[in-house]
């Protein structure tokens, strides 16, 4: 039985992960990390701590959709105690990303901007399209609920990164995040990313490849957080048999072999 600890158990994603795990064979959510006096999923009867170092039993694997500062402490704990990590937190700075890479030398980690199966299929299609339509202008638009704290979204950045990689450039060198004022003509080879925040939007992403006379649009709309939760649980089962290393959903879903 795979023993899972959910980081942010009292949050929106924590509730959905717990609900999706019910009835699954081979895994169980036995503990959680959450702030005191926050609502836990109905039916959960495991251990809950505010500080991961207070856990009385070491979980086999963490599923973490929290914030960078919390996730970094989870990585420290996992490295010390030998737990695996499913990491869906976004908004890491370069130091945080470096720590993930270094921790993965001793801890098996699946790190993804988005655990939806559909989103990862979309990323694979964007990569292929960017390689074929080298001269097309690329614009990415993403929309999320009013409570999301980072922009652009991790998924939008991942879309830009796979496209930039297919064109042999680094996203940081060609990204234009939003436009304002007298911007002048669009610079050839740039990748535009625009963010929308409002309402209860779970997640919408669209990549537009714009050429003279035609446009190719590749997009994904999430209508329920359950799609992310199911993908994270699928990744957890897959990672339970893996050696230390930094993995993506490409490996989990076999997209790297296409």
Judge whether 190 is annotated as a binding position.
Answer: no
pLDDT of residue 101: 97
- The CA dihedral of 109, 202, 96, 52, to the nearest 10 degrees, is -70
Residues 8 and 14: beta-carbon distance below 8 Å: yes
The DSSP bridge pattern shows strands 203-211 and 137-144 to be: antiparallel
Tell me how far apart the alpha carbons of residues 153 and 38 are, in angstroms, rounded to a whole number.
26
Judge whether 231 is annotated as a binding position.
Answer: no
What would the pLDDT profile of 11-63 be if each residue is shown by its tens digit?
A: 989 999 999 999 888 899 999 999 888 899 999 999 999 999 999 999 999 99
Establish whether 148 is a catalytic residue.
Answer: yes
- pLDDT surpasses 70 at 124: yes
What would the pLDDT profile of 197-206 be if each residue is shown by its tens digit?
A: 999 999 999 9
Judge whether 118 is annotated as a binding position.
Answer: no
Judge whether 115 is annotated as a binding position.
Answer: yes
What would the pLDDT profile of 141-179 be if each residue is shown by its tens digit?
A: 999 999 998 899 999 999 999 999 999 999 999 999 999
Please state, for a pLDDT cut of 70, what percent of the chain lies above it.
100
Establish whether 28 is a catalytic residue.
Answer: no
pLDDT of residue 258: 64
Q: Which residue of the set 3, 28, 128, 148 is catalytic?
A: 148
What is the side-by-side order of every strand in the sheet holding 245-247?
47-49, 27-33, 2-7, 61-64, 84-87, 108-111, 245-247
């Amino acid at each position: 039985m795979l023993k899972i600890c959910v980081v942010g158990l009292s949050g929106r994603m924590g509730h959905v992960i717990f609900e999706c795990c019910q009835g699954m064979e081979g895994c169980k959510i036995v503990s959680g990390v959450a702030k005191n006096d926050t609502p836990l999923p109905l039916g959960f009867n495991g251990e809950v701590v505010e500080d991961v170092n207070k856990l009385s039993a070491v979980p086999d694997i963490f599923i973490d959709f929290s914030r960078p500062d919390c996730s970094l402490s989870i990585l420290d704990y996992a490295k010390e105690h030998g737990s695996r990590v499913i990491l869906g937190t976004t908004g890491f700075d370069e130091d945080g990303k470096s720590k993930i890479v270094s921790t993965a030398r001793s801890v098996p980690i699946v790190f993804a901007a988005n655990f939806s199966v559909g989103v990862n299929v979309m990323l694979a299609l964007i990569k292929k399209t960017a390689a074929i339509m080298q001269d097309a202008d690329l614009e990415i638009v993403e929309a999320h609920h009013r409570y999301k704290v980072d922009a652009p979204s991790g998924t939008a950045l991942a879309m830009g990164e796979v496209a930039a990689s297919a064109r042999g450039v680094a996203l940081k060198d060609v990204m234009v995040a939003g436009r304002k004022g007298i911007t002048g003509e669009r610079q050839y080879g740039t990748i535009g990313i625009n963010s929308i925040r409002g309402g209860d939007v779970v997640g919408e992403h669209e990549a537009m490849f714009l050429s003279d006379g035609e446009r190719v649009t590749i997009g994904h709309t999430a209508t329920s957080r359950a799609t992310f939760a199911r993908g994270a649980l699928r990744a957890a089962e897959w990672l339970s048999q893996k050696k230390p290393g930094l993995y993506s959903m490409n490996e989990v879903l076999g997209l790297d072999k296409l």
